[in-house]
Amino acid sequence: MAHEAKKEYQKVVIDQDICISCGACVAVCPVQAIELDENAKARLIWDVCIDDFSCVKVCPVNCIWPTSQAPPEPKAKSKWYRFNAPLEGELKNTFEEWKKKYNVTGSPA
Ligand code: SF4
Ligand code: SF4
């Protein structure tokens, strides 16, 4: 059932150029779906995020948005998200649909 529901998740978009590496989003995420990357910038683990949007609320510089509310610039940037595991089958389709639906053109890390 949880896997079924995942289809509906919109995830979040992060603008790493605005991120000040405070770690608040990492600390608040209930499912460890955000990490600090090799440049200490917040990075989303796309397939783990469950849309509770705690990270959006705590970011002091407002550089995380629910994907439906994200401005176009960060959606065109790359490497602000990655996958926990290679996407297969239904989840891969869901990812492609998500990109199309929200016009996310940036590539994963
Ligand atoms: S929306 Fe929730 S689950 Fe997704 S990355 Fe943010 S805090 Fe984690
Ligand atoms: S809360 Fe915002 S500024 Fe802090 S690490 Fe996360 S994205 Fe970067």
Residue 108 lies in a domain: no
> Does 22 contact ligand 2 (Cβ within 6 A)?
yes
63 Cβ inside 6 Å of ligand 1: no
* Residues whose CB falls within 8 Å of the CB of residue 22, separated by 6 or more in sequence, listed in order: 59, 60
Report pLDDT digits (tens) over 37-86.
Answer: 999 999 999 999 999 999 999 999 999 999 999 999 999 999 999 999 99
Q: Does ligand 1 lie within 6 Å of residue 53's CB atom?
A: yes
Ligand 2 center to residue 35 CA distance, Å? 10
The CATH number of residue 62's host domain is 3.30.70.20
Q: Quick check: is 6 in a domain?
A: yes
Domain tally for the chain?
A: 1
Residue 106 lies in a domain: no
Domain interval for residue 51: 2-98
SS3 103: coil
Q: Is 55 exposed, middle or buried (0-12, 13-18, 19+ CB in 10 A)?
A: buried
Considering just the CA atoms, what is the radius of gyration of the chain in Å?
A: 13
Tens digit of each residue's pLDDT (9 = 90 or more) over 2-43: 444 456 799 999 999 999 999 999 999 999 999 999 999 999
Please identify, by atom number, the ligand 1 atom nearest to the C-alpha of residue 53.
1
In a domain, 60, yes or no: yes
**Domain presence at residue 50:** yes
Please check whether residue 103 lies inside any domain of the structure: no
